[in-house]
Chains A and B, each alone.
Chain A
Amino acid sequence: DAGITQSPRHKVTETGTPVTLRCHQTENHRYMYWYRQDPGHGLRLIHYSYGVKDTDKGEVSDGYSVSRSKTEDFLLTLESATSSQTSVYFCAISLSGEYNEQFFGPGTRLTVL
């Protein structure tokens, strides 16, 4: 158990509202990732972090921002949610270095109406 929690686990929101998802780890792992998972697509990387205040974009970063002010917390924000952002969002950590085996949280199911 890599000690990863995500909150909320489920959320329904309306188009145009801001949404923040939280990922929390209980150990001080450096690398953290946000993915989205949609039918017909593999997991797709949104943003990742390689340390406090060090973040970078993934392949589907448009419409998303992230922040990491503490090692244990990685926040994903949808500034103005759209229906295309309806998805399941997973946070992951890497224990042994960037892009090595990853350990995932339980996911957040987000619905944008």
Chain B
Amino acid sequence: EDQVTQSPEALRLQEGESSSLNCSYTVSGLRGLFWYRQDPGKGPEFLFTLYSAGEEKEKERLKATLTKKESFLHITAPKPEDSATYLCAVRTYKYIFGTGTRLKVLA
């Protein structure tokens, strides 16, 4: 059965304390992995698409990487405004979302 698991469920960081979020997957025929950010009371906001192992994408303090079994979202020197829930999704013949990591960055 295709599955997407995100860890940790929740993460509290001090401002400036870098860390990584994990998205592991067991799917047949990966056709893309996507990262989204979701603020409370809003719809998810698209961040990155990764297609093949070894690929990396960056945007401001965020960097997404992909291996054959998992993806990491690295957050470098986070700020309070990075606080949000981060979702990953994989595309096979359908779209499967993980349950997300709730990130809180403290000033």
Interface magnitude class on chain B: 20 to 34
CA distance A40 to B32 in the complex (A): 23
Please determine whether A106 and B43 come into contact, CB atoms closer than 8 angstroms: yes
Which of A14-22, A60-68, A77-85, A95-103 is the contact stretch? Answer: A95-103
Inter-subunit contact A101/B42 (CB<8 Å): no
Q: Which residues of B contact A41 (CB under 8 A)?
A: 99
Secondary structure type dominating chain A contacts: loop
Q: Are B96 and A42 in contact (CB under 8 A)?
A: yes
Q: Are B94 and A43 in contact (CB under 8 A)?
A: no
Pick from B31, B32, B42, B97: contact of A42, CB below 8 A.
Answer: B97
Q: A34 at the A/B interface (Cβ < 8 Å)? A: no
- Shortest CB distance A50–B (Å): 13
Q: A45-B94, A101-B34 are in contact. Are A40 and B99 (CB under 8 A)?
A: yes
**Chain A contacts to B: CB under 8 angstroms:** 4, 40-45, 58-59, 90, 92, 99-107
